[in-house]
Amino acid sequence: MKEVKIIIPSHKRATRVRTTSAVYGAALCVEESQADLYRKCNPGIEIITHPDNVIGLTRKRDWMIRNIGDVFMLDDDIEHLSRIYTEPGEETVVDPEVAHDIIQMTAHAAWQAGAYLFGFSSSPTPISFNSLNPVQLSGYVTGCAHGVLTGSKLWYNGDIHCNEDYWISLLNAHHHRLIWKDTRFYWAQKDTFVNRGGLAEFRNVENEEKDFLLLRKVFGDVVELRKSNGKSKLAHAFQKSLRLPF
C-alpha cells in the first residue's frame, strides 16, 4: 500500500497549531476561507482546503476520508508522541520523523491484517500497558489520533457533534469487527478542552446529550453513561463508555 496521508483538521486556530511540530510531513485541513491565514501562520506546511459549507469536525472528517483516501487524523493541539513501554529514566518523547514512520508502519500492519480503523493507546500511563498484548484487535480509538483506510463501510455522521470517535469505533465494530490499536504509543495533547476554536465551538452539555441519545438510538445499550467511581469526578452527566461484545 502507499503511504497514508497524515492530516491535522483545524478550525480558527491558525496561530495555535502544535501538532506540526510533533510529526513530520503532516498537512493541515481547513475551510477555504481560512486557508490564507493558515498559510501565513504556518509557512512550509501543506494546506488542504474543503468547502466552507462543510461545517464541524465530524463533517470535516467525513470529507477527508471521501476525498483524500487513506488518512491518519491528528488533532491540532498535540505536543508529541509518547512511548509507553519504558524503563525508569528512559526518554519517552518520540522524534517527529520517527513518529511519521510509526504511523506508516501501523497503517501498513492494519492493512495487512485486514483492518480499516487503526490507532494508538488511549491511556498515557505505563501501568495500563500490557506487554503481552501490545496490539489490541477490538475496542475504541480516540478521536484525537486515528486512521481510516479506503475500502471500508465507515463514514462519519454529521449529526454527531462531540463524539465522532465513539461513532466511528461503534460503526467499525458493527461492520468490520476488527481494529488495529498499537498500545505502545500515546499522542499527548495540551489544553484540549479550553483551547478556543476547533471543537470547543460545538462542545457543550446539550450536544453531549444529543450525541448520547443518537448513539443509543443507532447502536443500542452498548453505549452507557459513565459512572463516577469516586477516584475522579465526571466532567458532565453525559460522559460515555462502550461495552462492546467483541
pLDDT at 191: 64
Q: Check residues 30 and 232 and name the one with the higher pLDDT.
A: 30
pLDDT at residue 237 is higher than 90? no
- The grid coordinates of residue 90 equal 528512559
| C-alpha span between 170 and 14 (Å, rounded) | 32
Confidence of residue 1 (pLDDT cuts 50, 70, 90): confident
Is residue 86 within 8 A of residue 92, CB to CB? The reply is: yes
Rounded to the nearest 10°, the torsion over CA 61, 63, 65, 67 is -150
Contacts of 90 (CB under 8 A, 6+ apart): none
Amino acid, res. 91: E
Amino acid, res. 45: I
pLDDT at 193: 46
Q: Check residues 27 and 86 and name the one with the higher pLDDT.
A: 27
pLDDT at 240: 81
Q: How many CB atoms lie within 10 A of CB 173?
A: 21
pLDDT at residue 66 is higher than 70? yes
pTM of the model: 0.90
| C-alpha span between 207 and 222 (Å, rounded) | 20
pLDDT at 105: 98
- The grid coordinates of residue 123 equal 491511556
Q: Give strand ranges (E) for the chain.
A: 5-9, 27-31, 47-50, 71-74, 78-83, 93-94, 117-120, 135-136, 145-148, 180-182, 185-189, 223-225, 240-242
Amino acid, res. 134: P
Q: What pLDDT, in 10s, does the model give residues 193-231?
A: 445 554 555 568 889 999 999 999 999 999 998 777 666
pLDDT at 119: 98
Q: What pLDDT, in 10s, does the model give residues 99-141?
A: 999 999 999 999 999 999 999 999 888 888 888 999 999 999 9
Is residue 176 within 8 A of residue 112, CB to CB? The reply is: no
Give the SS3 label for residue 220: helix
Confidence of residue 4 (pLDDT cuts 50, 70, 90): very high
Is residue 246 within 8 A of residue 138, CB to CB? The reply is: yes
pLDDT at 149: 98
Domains and their CATH numbers in the chain:
5-194 (3.90.550)
pLDDT at residue 74 is higher than 50? yes
pLDDT at 91: 86
Mean pLDDT, rounded, of the chain: 91
